Structure formats: C-alpha cells, structure tokens
C-alpha cells in the first residue's frame, strides 16, 4: 500500500525543489555584485557625470517659488535637421512661451546654447544663414582622432558671444556629451561655453574629440538623440522639439553603414524616452532631410514654424 504524502511533507518537498531550482539565480545575482564592485569602471558606465548640476537646480527655484512647475525645453539632435528648432523657438515666443531651462545635445545644443546665451531666434537664423559652418571646418592631417577640426567655427561663435561660462547663460542649460575615457555620459551645466559647443558636433571619426578637463568628449547624440530623461529630473512640464531621421537608406558605402549603425542606438533610446515620459512633442517634418544639408538652413527653419 502506497502512503500519500501529508500536506506538510508536500510543502517541505516543494520548498526544497524551489531552493534547488532558484539557487543558480540567487548565486548569479550575488556573483554580479561581487564581480562588479561599486567603483568598478564597467559598473559605472551607466552612471552619468554631472558638472554644475546643483547650481543648475538652484537657478530653477525662482519658478518654483512663484508657485509653478518650471517649463523645460528639450532640443533633440539631428545635424542640419536641428535648424528646425529655430523656427520652433520663433513660434513659441510668438505665443508668449519662454522656457525656464533647456536640455540639449548634438546640433540641438548648438541652437539651444545660442538661445540660452541671449540670442533671439531671428538672430540665430541670421547667424546660420550668413556663417555656414562648412566655411570654418578644416581637414586635419595627421588625424588626431577625427578628419575635421571645428576650432575655427567655435572661434567664430566665441567672437559673437564673448568669453562665457555656460553656468552664466540667461537661460539655464544642460548639454550632454560622451567621454571616451570613462565611457560615461557627461551632463554639463558649467564650463567654457565655446569648448562645450565644440563637443556638440564632435561626431566620432569625422570630428576630432574635444579635450575638456580630464575628459575627452564626443557628441552626446551618439547614444541618445533625445536627452529627455535628464529634463524629467527637474520638471514634469516639458516640451520636446524633435529632428529625427526616418528615410530609407542605401548601404552601398561605409559611411552610410556607420551612420545607420549609430542611428539605430540613439534613435531607439530617444523614442524609448519619449514613449515613457509622454511630454508635449513638436514633431518637425524634417525626417526625410539629410543630416548634412547645412546649405539650406532657411528652408529647414521654415519647416520648424509649421
């Protein structure tokens, strides 16, 4: 005669089976903590480095004191397509909308920094029309990590703006970059205005990386075209202006393959941020425009006004 297991015996048996099956998982979790210590460089790659963020947050207190949530404006990267942000700024101002702070990267940060420094949208538009960036870019030989040096372009901007720390702009702004040495994102709310601007178009292999203190920085847009998660730390009242790319490409040359490879990751991260945070989004109809179409800023600015 076969005896049936009592409920207690069944529970004990099930408990030991669970421990047996789950122990590899528990061991693997503890092993990760043991292998990747808190100061391990690999563990830190997903932790951003902030420059001047405390002072940045304090500058937003004026809006909170007045009893309202600060209005943040996120200007996405997008190379020449980001000229559309100039048109967006014109329309926002026409409706009496002025941001309390800006978060941007890549070419979106070029527009954002000029606006934060006090230039009007019209003045920025005139600047990009009259001073085409290609006139100030020079090939570098021998290469120092990139084919093009943008120092002359940055120098032209500095002559217009003058010496300035980004922490002193009229509108508080955070600009993101990626540090080649630590592989960490750097969120900059302080530092030399012109050097930080140089990082905004330091596309890997094309432009030289930019030394800044202990960092060697490249365009922050290579990992996330829409730095929305940073703005969301400071406010829920956000407007995002996009300059995404969504046109079919041919992959018959190495440059187009590299461009698409970078685009996959940064667009995926940007769209994930947009779908999670659900801010007000201005989707500029520039998604079929080449990233190098710097010669027609007027047309792109007009698209941003629509």
Average pLDDT, the chain: 83
DSSP, residue by residue, 156-189: HHHHHH-S-BGGGSSS-EEEEEEETTT--EEEES
41, two tokens: 């460089």
Dist CA 229 CA 277 (whole Å)? 8
The Cα-based distances of 265 to 16, 52, 63, 131 in angstroms read 43, 28, 35, 32
Q: What is the pLDDT of residue 301?
A: 95
Of residues 272 and 153, the one with the higher pLDDT is 272
**What's the pLDDT band for 15 if we cut at 50, 70, 90?**
low
User: Which of 116-130, 177-191, 292-306 shows the highest mean pLDDT?
Assistant: 177-191
| pLDDT single digits (tens) 238-276 | 999 998 777 666 777 777 787 777 778 888 888 888 888
Closest CA to 190 of 212, 208, 222, 159: 212
57, two tokens: 């947050």
User: Which of 142-146, 165-169, 220-224 shows the highest mean pLDDT?
Assistant: 165-169
Closest CA to 109 of 41, 8, 189: 189
Dist CA 53 CA 233 (whole Å)? 11
pTM value? 0.82
| pLDDT single digits (tens) 156-215 | 788 888 899 999 999 999 999 999 999 999 999 999 999 999 999 888 877 889 999 999
Whether the per-residue pLDDT at 9 is higher than 70: the answer is: no
Whether the per-residue pLDDT at 113 is higher than 80: the answer is: yes
Q: Work out the average pLDDT over 18-44.
A: 64
Helices H, strands E: what count in the chain?
A: 11, 12
Least confident of 12-16, 50-54, 116-120, 228-232: 12-16
Q: For residue 245, what is the DSSP state?
A: -
Least confident of 102-106, 112-116, 247-251, 288-292: 247-251
Going along the chain from its start, the domains and CATH numbers come out as 47-304 (3.40.1090.10)
Q: What is the pLDDT of residue 17?
A: 52
**What's the pLDDT band for 148 if we cut at 50, 70, 90?**
low
**What's the pLDDT band for 95 if we cut at 50, 70, 90?**
very high
**What's the pLDDT band for 142 if we cut at 50, 70, 90?**
very low
Residues of the chain above pLDDT 70, percent = 80
């Amino acid at each position: 005669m076969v005896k049936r297991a009592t409920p207690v015996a069944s529970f004990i048996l099930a408990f030991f089976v669970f421990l047996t099956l789950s122990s590899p998982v528990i061991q693997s979790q503890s092993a990760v903590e043991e292998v990747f210590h808190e100061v391990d460089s690999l563990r830190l790659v997903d932790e951003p480095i902030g420059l001047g963020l405390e002072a940045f947050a304090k500058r937003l207190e004026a809006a909170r004191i007045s009893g309202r949530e600060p209005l943040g404006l996120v200007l996405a990267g997008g190379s020449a397509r980001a000229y559309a942000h100039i048109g967006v700024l014109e329309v926002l101002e026409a409706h009496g909308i002025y941001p309390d702070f800006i978060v941007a990267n890549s070419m979106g940060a070029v527009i954002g920094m000029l606006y934060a420094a006090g230039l009007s949208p019209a003045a920025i538009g005139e600047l990009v029309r009259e001073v085409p960036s290609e006139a100030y870019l020079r090939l570098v030989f021998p290469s120092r990590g990139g084919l093009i040096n943008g120092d002359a372009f940055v120098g032209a901007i500095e002559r217009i703006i003058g010496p300035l720390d980004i922490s002193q702009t009229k509108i508080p702004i955070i600009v993101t970059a990626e540090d080649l040495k630590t592989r960490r994102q750097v969120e900059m709310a302080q530092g030399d205005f012109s050097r930080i601007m140089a990082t905004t178009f330091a596309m890997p292999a094309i432009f030289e990386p930019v030394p800044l203190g202990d960092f060697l920085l490249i365009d922050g847009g290579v990992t996330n075209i829409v730095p929305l998660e940073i703005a969301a730390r400071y406010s829920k009242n956000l407007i995002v202006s996009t300059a995404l790319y969504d046109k079919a490409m041919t992959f018959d040359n190495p440059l187009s393959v590299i461009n698409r490879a970078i685009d996959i990751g940064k667009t995926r991260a940007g769209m994930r941020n947009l779908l999670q945070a659900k801010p007000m989004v201005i989707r500029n109809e520039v998604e079929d425009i080449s990233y190098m179409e710097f010669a027609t800023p007027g047309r792109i600015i007009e698209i941003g006004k629509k």
